[in-house]
Amino acid sequence: MRLFLLACAGGALGSGARYLTYVAAAYWPGTAFPWATLTVNVVGSFAMGILIELILLRYEGSLELRTFLATGILGGFTTFSAFSLDAVRLYEGGEAGAAVIYVLASVVLSILACFAGLAITRAALS
């Protein structure tokens, strides 16, 4: 239960940071391109790399700290950071082919699932 609460608390902070990023991007550079989403994905993935290297590999951080920071804060900020870490772990584990399949399947299937969800909902509501 403690880890769950840590993940929730971190998630609230990460979601708040994501919201502020979207607000800032609405003012500059604007909403014509999804700059806010791109920003949280890239920054979140970069932060995940730093956190995993420092907390997990260098300083053997506690499960509680990893849960709060990686799962909670970065998970609330962007789940793309977890996706990036999974792809890197596959690649660094000698599974380059699996990493490519994972990346392509994640992106393509997620976009197709979004289209499907839109279509099903639109059909049900019309």
Short-list 26, 70, 36, 25, CA closest to 52: 70
Q: Which domain holds residue 14?
A: 2-78
Query: Is the residue at 34 inside a domain?
Result: yes
Helix (H, G, I), strand (E, B) or coil at 29: coil
Query: Is the residue at 7 inside a domain?
Result: yes
Query: Is the residue at 103 inside a domain?
Result: no
Q: pLDDT at position 55, please?
A: 87
| Average pLDDT for 34-44 | 92
* Alpha carbons 99 and 95: distance in angstroms, whole number: 6
Query: Is the residue at 105 inside a domain?
Result: no
pLDDT tens per residue across span 11-25: 999 999 999 999 999
Query: Is the residue at 94 inside a domain?
Result: no
Query: Is the residue at 88 inside a domain?
Result: no
Tell me the percentage of the chain whose pLDDT exceeds 90: 84
**pLDDT band at residue 102 under the 50/70/90 scheme:** very high
Q: What is the mean pLDDT of the chain?
A: 94
| Average pLDDT for 91-104 | 97
Domain count, the chain: 1
Entry pTM: 0.82
Q: pLDDT at position 57, please?
A: 78
Query: Is the residue at 61 inside a domain?
Result: yes
Q: CA-based diameter of the chain, in Å?
A: 56
Query: Is the residue at 83 inside a domain?
Result: no
Q: pLDDT at position 58, please?
A: 84
